[in-house]
């Protein structure tokens, strides 16, 4: 997209110190936007924003707080809503917090945005809401079937976004992310995503833990593609009120992922196969036809190039070895 459209725009990024939020915040600052970040640092890190800390306004607070939301949305034109409690396994352990943050927090944000004249909210939804239907690729018109509290909470937020688009003068766009990976993704969390966790394990010569037989598939999506999709969604006239997949439109198995990472890093480790985790889907593959037609989206970085980039980033960083 033409990044000049963002110049001097007053933008709020919720969850802007997290993995996806920080990458988006940095890109927005580089495009000349005036960015405010709202993050309670429950999963984010201020160090993720070191690159732009002098160019943003940072509010250390929670999206569940109505007073903090009123402060955060004041004079804002556009919101990228990334704040969430991530992870399917975590939501099964603590479903109430997932509901409070992901569903109720989103509703409170939408109310604050409506009441303060925000033009558009771009909401981070999730491919997990499709559930475990064997039909591939996943198209936005398919019935949804959330299999975890996390998936259900993200779907609730998505539906509230659509209602606000139809009932009020607040445009919303919901982007269903498929297995996003890239720099600043935390490998040390108990609920770390598979790619940073695998890289950390290979680098420290620890066995790779694979849940299931490893033949389950994922449409892994490099962060640069996700940032681009968000920026496109901010201004695409036909996107208001829509739900749109964001992915690469290709898939690989977890076993293929593990082998490729070991080949590129140049180390071999053992595999440890455990029972599949409850709530996780077997196969995931997105149709990105709607993103192409409504947003003009095209993934710029395929999974293999993205994996090479993230290996290089982690290899040059101490991030893998930091404990929260």
Catalytic residues: 150
CA–centroid distance for 205 within its chain? 28
Q: Which residues on adjacent β-strands are paired with residue 289?
A: none
Asked if 286 and 247 touch (Cβ cutoff 8 Å), the reply is yes
The structure tokens 């409690």 sit at 85
Instruction: Tell me the C-alpha to C-alpha distance, in Å, between residue 242 and each of 37, 77, 161, 248.
Output: 25, 19, 9, 19
Nearest to residue 120, comparing CAs of 65, 67, 179, 175?
175
What own/partner pairs with CB < 8 Å and gap ≥ 24 does 128-137 have?
128/88, 128/154, 128/281, 129/154, 129/155, 129/158, 129/176, 130/281, 130/284, 131/281, 132/281, 132/282, 134/282, 134/283, 136/283, 136/285, 137/249, 137/285, 137/286, 137/287
Asked if 120 and 78 touch (Cβ cutoff 8 Å), the reply is yes
Helix (H), strand (E), coil (C) string for 51-102: HHHHHEEEECCCCCCHHHHHHHHCCCCEEEECCCCCCHHHHHHCHHHHHHHH
């Amino acid at each position: 997209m033409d990044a000049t459209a963002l110049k001097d725009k007053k933008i709020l990024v919720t969850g802007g110190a997290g993995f996806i939020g920080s990458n988006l915040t940095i890109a927005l600052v580089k495009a000349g936007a005036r960015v405010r970040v709202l993050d309670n640092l429950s999963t984010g890190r201020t160090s993720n924003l070191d690159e732009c800390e002098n160019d943003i306004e940072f509010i250390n607070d929670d999206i569940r707080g109505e007073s903090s939301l009123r402060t955060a949305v004041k004079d804002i034109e556009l919101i990228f809503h990334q704040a969430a409690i991530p992870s399917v396994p975590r939501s099964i352990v603590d479903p109430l917090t997932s509901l409070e943050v992901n569903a109720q927090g989103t509703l409170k944000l939408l109310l604050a945005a409506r009441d303060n004249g925000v033009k558009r909210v771009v909401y981070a939804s999730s491919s997990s809401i499709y559930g475990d239907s064997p039909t591939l690729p996943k198209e936005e018109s398919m019935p949804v079937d959330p299999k975890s509290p996390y998936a259900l909470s993200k779907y609730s937020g998505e539906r509230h976004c659509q209602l606000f688009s139809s009932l009020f003068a607040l445009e919303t766009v919901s982007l269903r992310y498929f297995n996003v990976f890239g720099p600043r993704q935390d490998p040390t969390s108990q609920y770390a995503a598979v790619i940073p966790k695998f890289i950390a394990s290979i680098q420290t010569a620890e066995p790779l833990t694979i849940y299931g037989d490893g033949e389950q598939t994922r449409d892994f999506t490099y962060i640069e593609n996700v940032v681009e999709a968000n920026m496109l969604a901010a201004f695409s006239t036909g996107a208001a009120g829509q739900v749109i997949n964001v992915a690469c439109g290709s898939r690989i198995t977890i076993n293929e992922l593990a082998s490729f990472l070991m080949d590129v890093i140049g180390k071999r480790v053992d595999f440890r196969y455990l029972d599949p985790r409850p709530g996780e889907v077997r196969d995931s593959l997105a149709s990105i036809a709607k993103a192409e037609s409504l947003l003009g989206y095209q993934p710029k970085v395929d999974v293999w190039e993205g994996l090479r980039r993230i290996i290089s980033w982690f290899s040059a960083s101490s991030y893998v070895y930091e404990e929260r």
